[in-house]
């Protein structure tokens, strides 16, 4: 399949954000909007967006939030409700900038949380479904311990050098994420109540060996959502299912979106 591609910068939240698009134009077809993790960006999705467009035949839109990748800077320190602000204040502007008509939000880690907050907080009939990879809705001690280890790696190890390959300001990118999660007041952070307001199908994907979160995170979605929930647990997989188990993830998303399109198709009247 030959895919149309585009990349550039779009303004949202008062900041220039880098983006890339694959497949049909967002104004013309169902679009998979990719929302990256707490240290992610456009480049760190690697070839997953292209493969996703090829596997589904749908459009894919990916962008870097403020303070990530080559996007403009974010104000620091980040507020402890930064994921809610991204969902409610910035994501609507991104969707509007690309004239998105129908979308599935595909979020990883922080991005999964942002996707769920948007769907549970904003009345938007354009959003037809959610794909949540390793989302988090509340803090867990083992996850916070891993984030503390990340801080040590950044300050004394190789993480800062690695991040500099992908982020304009790796120090600001890391501190914006890490300082928020390790703030004493963040230990009680919990946004699971947004799940109670989900009214669209959701696919949740979780690695069994994820050091940042347990199955309790996706149990919460399955237990609280009023809409259908599909669940994919991946053996031998950590925090990045799209990178560690791409074939299984692509197959699951393809099957999920095929069903969404079938549900969304207008009924044909029988004479």
**Would you state the pLDDT for residue 3?**
55
> Tokens 């207008």 appear where?
266
pTM of the model: 0.95
Nearest-CA neighbor of 106 among 123, 84, 129?
129
Domain boundaries, the chain: 5-264
Indicate the pLDDT class of residue 41, thresholds 50, 70 and 90.
very high
pLDDT averaged over the chain?
A: 95
What is the distance in angstroms between the CA of the first residue and the CA of the last residue of the chain? 37
Average pLDDT score over residue span 105-125: 97
pLDDT single digits (tens) 169-178: 999 999 999 9
pLDDT at 150 over 80: yes
Indicate the pLDDT class of residue 265, thresholds 50, 70 and 90.
confident
**Would you state the pLDDT for residue 225?**
97
pLDDT at 156 over 70: yes
Q: What CATH architecture does domain 5-264 belong to?
A: 3-Layer(aba) Sandwich (3.40)
Average pLDDT score over residue span 66-76: 97
């Amino acid at each position: 399949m030959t895919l149309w591609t585009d990349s550039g910068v779009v303004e949202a939240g008062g900041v220039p954000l880098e983006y890339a698009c694959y497949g049909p134009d967002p104004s013309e077809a169902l679009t998979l909007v990719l929302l990256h993790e707490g240290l992610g960006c456009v480049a760190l999705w690697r070839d997953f967006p292209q493969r996703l467009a090829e596997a589904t035949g749908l459009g894919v839109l990916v962008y870097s939030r403020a303070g990530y990748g080559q996007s403009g800077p974010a104000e620091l320190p980040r507020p402890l409700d930064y994921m809610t602000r991204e969902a409610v204040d910035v994501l609507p502007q991104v969707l509007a900038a690309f004239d998105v008509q129908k979308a599935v939000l595909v979020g990883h880690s922080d991005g999964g949380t942002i996707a769920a907050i948007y769907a549970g907080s904003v009345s938007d009939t354009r959003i037809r479904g959610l794909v949540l990879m390793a989302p988090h809705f509340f803090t867990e001690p083992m996850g916070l311990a891993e984030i503390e280890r990340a801080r040590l790696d950044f300050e004394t190890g190789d993480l800062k050098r690695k991040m500099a390959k992908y982020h304009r300001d790796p120090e600001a990118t890391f501190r914006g994420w890490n300082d928020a999660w390790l703030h004493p007041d963040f230990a009680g952070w919990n946004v699971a109540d947004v799940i109670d307001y989900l009214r669209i199908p959701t696919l949740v994907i979780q690695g069994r060996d994820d050091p940042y979160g347990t199955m309790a995170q996706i149990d919460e979605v399955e237990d609280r959502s009023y809409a259908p929930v599909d669940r994919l647990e991946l053996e031998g997989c950590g925090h990045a299912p799209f990178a560690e188990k791409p074939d299984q993830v692509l197959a699951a998303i393809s099957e999920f979106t095929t069903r969404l399109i079938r549900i969304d198709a207008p009924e044909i009247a029988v004479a």
